[in-house]
Structure 1
């Protein structure tokens, strides 16, 4: 049990670090490059002078999401909805890793699919699937948290963040001067949700371990 607690705690810490790094690069790198925080997407930062920083952020965040998916399979009740949600979170993690490996093409005000390279198409599709999957997981888990002991107090905040994320996801088709800002706002709501869930899961894992130690001591 102690080994499991350490593994879960480490996995969730990696999740938090990944989201902090991703948000830091998404919001701050534009100010150190020629990219715009409002018009350019997060992926386009890879094409700038500090592209390696954004690539690292994608890798760490992707591994962090895979860690979150694995940890939640341990701490959440084994219902179909929870299991499906962890799969969706895992897909998001894989999508982030694909985004790190396959670079995006420069994105103009409107996406011309005929001019995109194969890598650009793969990157865009991976990003779209990643966002849809994580938002879907947020919605499902927001319902399920209310039925799970230890998670109920998280329900209103999770539902609020999920609702905002759905709204921003539907707005992602907007092109032009605010497309980058809309994407960053969506990524930020997702990051807040992920960190919030990771902190709660880490706390529950610790409580479970402490309870087990107390039982063994009797």
Structure 2
């Protein structure tokens, strides 16, 4: 997850210098260095999918866990697909909004990804007490998933600060994965029976 954050920072500092407060992160994929953001989407999707696979080995099988893992997998696939369907830049008030087919698909994939990530992480956080290896992280994971949901709601309530709210949402979603990945890595030497 570190490389995702690094790519985000790099592409934000390059032309055309989109506003991180107002504009969506997806806008960074449109411009001379947009390929970096597209690489970011691909890496994010792959790492998120690997995280879902790793979690599937740790959680006991149950209906709620399966639903949470499916949501996390949906987030992963949609995040990956964002790289292939660039968004439309609609931030300039002097230009009439032009919606392209790939821009519409981008919005659809992003919407599905955000809802799936928030729901999946909340469901899985509530189920952490059923695992031995990540049981102690339930409070932190639940807090991060709730903060992600609040940031997601803020995106709708603060359209002029939507870029900031979106980045906070992504920060909490990816931090949740990072915290659980560190927790799993710390216990990697345990035998399967200890899980």
Q: Is TM more than 0.5 here?
A: yes
Q: Which residue of 1 aligns with 2:159?
A: 175
Change in Cα spacing, 1:76 to 1:204, as seen in structure 2 (3 Å) is: farther
Preserved contact between residue 69 and residue 124 of structure 2 (Cα < 8 Å): no
Q: Distance in 2 between matches of 1:120 and 1:67?
A: 27
- Greater RCO (CA < 8 Å, at least 6 residues apart): 1
CA RMSD of aligned residues (A): 2.0
Q: Tell me the residue number matched to 2:50.
A: 67
Query: How many pairs does the alignment contain?
Result: 189
- Which whole-Å CA distance do the structure 2 matches of 1:149 and 1:99 have between them? 35
Give 1 or 2: higher helix fraction.
Answer: 1
Runs of 4+ aligned residues of structure 1 deviating over 6 Å after TM superposition are: none
Partner of 1:52: 35
* 2:13 aligned residue: 31
Q: Distance in 2 between matches of 1:125 and 1:22?
A: 22
Unmatched runs of 5 consecutive residues or more in structure 2:
none
TM-score by length of 1: 0.80
Shift of 1:210: 9.5
Larger Rg: 1
In structure 2, C-alpha distance between the alignment counterparts of 1:150 and 1:74, rounded to whole Å? 11
In the alignment, is residue 192 of structure 1 matched against residue 192 of structure 2? Answer: no
Specify every segment of 5 or more residues in structure 1 that has no aligned partner in the other structure, as ranges: 1-18, 212-218
